[in-house]
């Protein structure tokens, strides 16, 4: 019987190298002119600066940074991040499962997705909570309205402070979205500014998720137009793809307008939800996750993984791999926060998982034997695509066959080695020599 799997702190899956070329085809098609061949003359005309200005790498950086922790109030969390296909890592995060002093029963988690640099994201990851607490609205004997106003004022205050520093110290022109939660013994406060996202899984279902702030949303578009801007190609002035963010001070230079009425607003939306014993887990993630998978799919996938894996770091890593396999080209960061009501590892689920992986291994062997009989090259990508077209019962909901690629590759490598050891060796002698 399998036992729940444990993850290591540094994870650089070697099998991913074999999958890089498949995702490279996607990048090539979308960002490097598709399958069209360039002529020599066109190559000569490429400007060197243009060639190096791409925000995408030729190969993804696959190293994951993972950590975990918990609190005395039975909150457990893990976080994982990966640079992926982006030329720079611009994500940042904050995980504080237990605050200090009178707020020791409170927790705070946040994901910051930077753009045009990482200065604002990094600064906010270190300082946003202090600005929120300084407002005095967060108290142990909480008033939800005061808490929400304190969070809002904390965002506006740090944005003013950074704007002043950016003018004095010539900061980069970066900005950052922010998706965060503050958890008290009674409430969960959902905080969102931009298009990172948070959701709560309650009794197996997504019961709340934050709304992405996009320029084409009617309310956001109205503010942008009132500030003298336009929404072109679903972006502010054809440039910025989010309508609320910290930083982005090039879009906040109309001095006579309030902060919340600029082209880009730093004002978060804040909602409170009363905690219940049926609350299972929270997920906070940047849009590198949401570009590849939806709320309900990710909820189902994580819930399924919690029943077969007792290491939240491993589950975060599986989420990242799933998003990469599904074509995410962005930095990827995810935080999973589990409440006492989260699903636990069960022997029944482990048995189902073992049977599924045995079935996949058997199917891989069948495909390789079939290809061998046809004298075809046993190509890994062909095996994966063949399995994707099959009806395989028991696959992880929300993940499907895509989430079992590590199992497929392990089976492929095992059976390919067996096939090669069974092949007769070519001694190089003539037919006459072999029969004499």
| CATH number for position 188 | 3.60.40.10
The domain containing residue 278 runs over which residues? 57-338
pLDDT of residue 435: 44
Q: What are the structure tokens assigned to 432, written together? A: 């006459």
Q: Quickly tell me which residue has 């406060």 as its tokens.
A: 189
Same domain (yes/no): 153, 205: yes
pLDDT of residue 8: 38
Same domain (yes/no): 334, 260: yes
How many domains is the chain built from? Answer: 2
Same domain (yes/no): 209, 289: yes
Q: What are the structure tokens assigned to 145, written together? A: 């309205």
Q: Which pLDDT tens digit goes with each residue over 351-384? A: 999 999 999 999 999 999 888 888 777 788 889 8
Is the distance from CB of 293 to CB of 209 less than 8 angstroms? no
Domain boundary among 279, 309, 338: 338
Is the distance from CB of 86 to CB of 56 less than 8 angstroms? yes
Same domain (yes/no): 310, 368: no
pLDDT of residue 53: 65
Determine whether 4 is exposed, middle or buried from the number of CB atoms within 10 Å of its CB (0-12, 13-18, 19+).
Answer: middle
- Phi first, then psi, for residue 379 (nearest 5°) are -80, 130
Is residue 116 situated within a structural domain? yes
Q: What are the structure tokens assigned to 279, written together? A: 């609350």
pLDDT of residue 100: 94
pLDDT of residue 131: 98
What angle do the packed helices 380-388 and 405-422 form, to 10 degrees? 130
Taking Cα atoms as reference points, which of 301, 307, 219 lies closest to residue 267?
A: 219
Interatomic CA distance for residues 60 and 84, integer angstroms? 5
pLDDT of residue 167: 86
Interatomic CA distance for residues 352 and 348, integer angstroms? 6
pTM: 0.86
Domain boundary among 313, 338, 363: 338
Tell me the pLDDT of the chain (436 aa) as tens digits.
333 433 434 343 444 444 555 554 444 443 333 333 334 444 444 444 444 468 899 999 999 999 999 998 899 999 999 999 999 999 999 999 999 999 999 999 999 999 999 999 999 999 999 999 999 999 999 999 999 999 999 999 999 999 999 988 878 889 999 999 999 999 999 999 999 999 999 999 999 999 999 999 999 999 999 999 999 999 999 999 999 999 999 999 988 999 999 999 999 999 999 999 999 999 999 999 999 999 999 999 999 999 999 999 999 999 999 999 999 999 999 999 999 999 999 999 999 999 999 999 999 999 998 888 887 777 888 898 899 999 999 999 999 999 999 999 999 988 888 777 766 655 454 444 444 3
Determine whether 377 is exposed, middle or buried from the number of CB atoms within 10 Å of its CB (0-12, 13-18, 19+).
Answer: exposed
């Amino acid at each position: 019987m399998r036992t729940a799997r444990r993850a290591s702190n540094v994870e650089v899956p070697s099998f991913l190298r074999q999958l890089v070329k498949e995702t490279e085809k996607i990048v090539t098609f979308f960002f490097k002119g598709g399958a069209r061949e360039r002529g020599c003359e066109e190559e000569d005309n490429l400007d060197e600066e243009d060639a190096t200005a791409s925000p995408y790498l030729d190969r993804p950086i696959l190293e994951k940074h993972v950590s975990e922790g918990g609190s005395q109030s039975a909150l457990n969390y893990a976080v994982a991040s990966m640079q992926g296909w982006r030329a720079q890592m611009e994500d940042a995060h904050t995980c504080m499962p237990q605050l200090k002093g009178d707020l020791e029963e409170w927790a705070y988690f946040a994901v910051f997705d930077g753009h045009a640099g990482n200065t604002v994201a990094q600064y906010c990851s270190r300082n946003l909570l202090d600005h929120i607490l300084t407002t005095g609205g967060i108290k142990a004997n909480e008033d939800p309205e005061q808490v929400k106003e304190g969070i809002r004022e904390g965002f506006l205050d740090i944005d003013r402070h950074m704007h002043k520093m950016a003018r004095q110290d010539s900061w980069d022109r970066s900005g950052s979205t922010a998706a965060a939660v503050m958890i008290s013994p009674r409430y969960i406060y959902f905080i969102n500014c931009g298009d990172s996202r948070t959701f709560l899984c309650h009794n197996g279902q997504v019961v709340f998720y934050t709304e992405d702030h996009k320029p084409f949303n009617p309310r956001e578009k109205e503010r942008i137009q009132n500030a003298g801007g336009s929404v072109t190609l679903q972006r502010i002035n054809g440039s910025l793809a989010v309508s609320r963010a910290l930083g982005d001070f090039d879009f906040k230079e109309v001095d006579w307008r309030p902060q919340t009425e600029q082209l880009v607003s730093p004002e978060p939306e804040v909602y409170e939800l009363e905690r219940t014993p049926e609350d299972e887990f929270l997920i906070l993630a940047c849009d590198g996750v949401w570009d590849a998978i939806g709320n309900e799919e990710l909820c189902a996938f994580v819930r399924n993984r919690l029943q077969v894996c007792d290491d939240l770091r491993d589950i975060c890593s599986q989420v990242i791999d799933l998003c990469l396999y599904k074509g995410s080209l962005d930095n990827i960061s995810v935080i999973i926060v589990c409440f006492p009501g989260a699903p636990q590892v069960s022997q029944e689920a482990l048995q189902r998982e073992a049977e599924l992986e045995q079935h996949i291994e058997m199917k891989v062997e069948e495909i390789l034997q079939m290809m061998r009989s046809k004298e075809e090259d046993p190509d890994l990508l062909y095996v994966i695509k063949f399995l994707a077209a099959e009806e395989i019962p028991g696959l992880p909901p929300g993940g499907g066959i895509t989430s079992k690629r590590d199992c497929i590759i392990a089976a492929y490598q095992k059976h390919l080695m067996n096939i090669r050891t069974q092949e007769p060796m070519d001694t190089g002698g003539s037919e006459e020599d072999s029969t004499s």
